[in-house]
């Protein structure tokens, strides 16, 4: 299931029309009201969710620096960490516990490093499950595949920034997710709001919290597809719309990072006084991240941390 760009593109195009064809509608209040009018109900389709203790294996396809890998690893380690200052990554992840089955406790498992591009630099979608199967071991395993900035994946930038799906192992099904580094291919699509968008008003981008637009953009997309993997792993969990193009736990809340968000504006977020970087979540080792809103099944709304 892909984290589609169509939802973002449609809102961006709509915003463009309001701003330039009918200035009377170009207000924060009215645009926000327009978004709020859209019904938001993720139906449960009676399938299994990934709950309890879950092992997350990582596949690094292409070249990532140690610092880049540590930013992503720290994000995973922050999901269930206690004691980090508020607003914390773990408090963002706690919303998944409100879905049927209770909490999902994430434990990092194997890491596979494919720095020699064993499948080349142009990767077909069908290859992703094959890459994921290289590391798919552990209890309730999820394998996340990361592709570096010089790797092209089918549909990347054109229709999606990441995706998740499932494969068949020797003993059982396994879930996997994939996210690519968009910094050299389409940062305006897959690294917004840390890069100017390709559509809509060209407002200055936010400063990325870890000083790496590509990786901080990957964190946003990772949060999106990983939450979808846990709450809709096999196309019969929580989603709205078609099972083949669903709105899921986070993709239903695309573009919302703080209060007052509307198409083209991520909302009110925190700003680091020293670096000027924007963030809304704090993780382990003092990491700061910008995480998208997640649909809260108790309130049927997109929940933000700030």
Longest C-alpha distance within the chain, in Å?
Answer: 60
Query: Rounded distance, CA 54 to CA 50, Å?
Result: 7
Helix (H, G, I), strand (E, B) or coil at 280: coil
In DSSP terms, 166 is beta-bridged to 175
Query: Rounded distance, CA 52 to CA 105, Å?
Result: 6
pLDDT surpasses 70 at 253: yes
199-208, 242-251, 265-274: which has the minimum mean pLDDT? 199-208
Model confidence at 136, in pLDDT bands (50, 70, 90)?
Answer: low
Query: Rounded distance, CA 234 to CA 205, Å?
Result: 36
Taking residues 36-47, report their average pLDDT: 81
Model confidence at 1, in pLDDT bands (50, 70, 90)?
Answer: low
Q: Mean of the per-residue pLDDT values for the chain?
A: 88
- Please report which residue ranges of 134-193 form alpha helices under DSSP H: 187-190
Give yes or no for a contact between 216 and 72, defined as CB atoms under 8 angstroms apart: no
What integer pLDDT is reported at residue 7 of this predicted model?
Answer: 45
The closest of 162, 114, 161, 152 to 135, measured between CA atoms, is 114
Q: For a pLDDT cut of 90, what percent of the chain falls above it? A: 78
Query: Rounded distance, CA 1 to CA 162, Å?
Result: 9
pTM (predicted TM-score) = 0.88
What integer pLDDT is reported at residue 115 of this predicted model?
Answer: 97
pLDDT surpasses 60 at 5: no
- The DSSP annotation for 186-231 comes to -HHHHSTTSS--SSS--PPPPBPTTS-HHHHHHHHHHHHHHHHHHH
11-20, 30-39, 49-58, 68-77: which has the minimum mean pLDDT? 11-20
What integer pLDDT is reported at residue 20 of this predicted model?
Answer: 33
Q: CA gyration radius for the chain?
A: 18
What integer pLDDT is reported at residue 19 of this predicted model?
Answer: 31
Give yes or no for a contact between 186 and 157, defined as CB atoms under 8 angstroms apart: yes
User: Chain centroid to CA 80: how far?
Assistant: 17
176-231 pLDDT tens trace: 999 999 999 999 999 999 999 988 778 899 999 999 999 999 999 999 999 999 99
The closest of 252, 263, 239, 253 to 293, measured between CA atoms, is 253
The closest of 158, 150, 72 to 111, measured between CA atoms, is 72
Give yes or no for a contact between 228 and 234, defined as CB atoms under 8 angstroms apart: no
What integer pLDDT is reported at residue 165 of this predicted model?
Answer: 96
Model confidence at 8, in pLDDT bands (50, 70, 90)?
Answer: very low
Helix (H, G, I), strand (E, B) or coil at 99: coil
Q: What is the DSSP letter of 24?
A: G
What integer pLDDT is reported at residue 2 of this predicted model?
Answer: 64
Q: What φ, ψ does residue 292 adopt, rounded to 5°? A: -75, 160
Give yes or no for a contact between 217 and 191, defined as CB atoms under 8 angstroms apart: yes
What integer pLDDT is reported at residue 168 of this predicted model?
Answer: 79
Taking residues 105-120, report their average pLDDT: 96
What integer pLDDT is reported at residue 81 of this predicted model?
Answer: 92
The closest of 179, 206, 190, 223 to 90, measured between CA atoms, is 223
Residues 6+ apart with CB under 8 A from 63: 115, 148, 150
What integer pLDDT is reported at residue 4 of this predicted model?
Answer: 56
């Amino acid at each position: 299931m892909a984290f589609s760009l169509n939802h973002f593109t449609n809102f961006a195009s709509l915003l463009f029309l309001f701003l330039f064809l009918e200035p009377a509608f170009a207000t924060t209040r009215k645009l926000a009201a327009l978004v709020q009018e859209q019904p938001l109900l993720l139906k449960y389709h009676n399938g299994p969710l990934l709950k309890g203790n879950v092992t997350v294996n990582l596949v690094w396809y292409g070249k990532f620096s140690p610092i880049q890998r540590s930013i992503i690893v720290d994000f995973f380690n922050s999901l269930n960490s206690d004691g980090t200052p508020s607003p914390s990554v773990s408090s963002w992840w706690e919303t998944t516990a409100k879905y049927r089955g209770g909490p999902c406790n994430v434990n990092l498992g194997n890491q596979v490093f494919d720095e020699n591009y064993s499948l080349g630099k142009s990767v077909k979608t069908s290859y992703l499950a094959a890459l994921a199967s290289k590391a798919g071991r552990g209890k309730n395993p999820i394998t996340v595949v990361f592709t570096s900035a010089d790797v092209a994946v089918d549909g990347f930038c054109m229709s999606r920034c990441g995706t998740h799906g499932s494969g068949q192992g020797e003993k059982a099904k396994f879930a996997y997710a994939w996210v690519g580094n968009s910094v050299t291919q389409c940062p305006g699509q897959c690294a917004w709001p840390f890069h100017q968008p390709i559509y809509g008003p060209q407002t200055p981008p936010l400063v990325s919290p870890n000083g790496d637009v590509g990786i901080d953009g990957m964190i946003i997309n990772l949060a999106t597809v990983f939450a979808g993997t846990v709450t809709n792993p096999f196309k019969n969990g929580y989603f709205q719309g078609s099972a083949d193009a669903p709105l899921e736990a986070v993709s239903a809340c695309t573009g919302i990072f703080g209060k007052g968000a509307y198409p083209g504006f991520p909302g009110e977020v925190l700003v680091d006084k020293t670096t000027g970087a924007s963030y809304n979540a704090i993780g382990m080792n003092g990491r700061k991240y910008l995480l998208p809103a997640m649909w809260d099944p108790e309130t049927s709304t997109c929940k933000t941390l700030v």
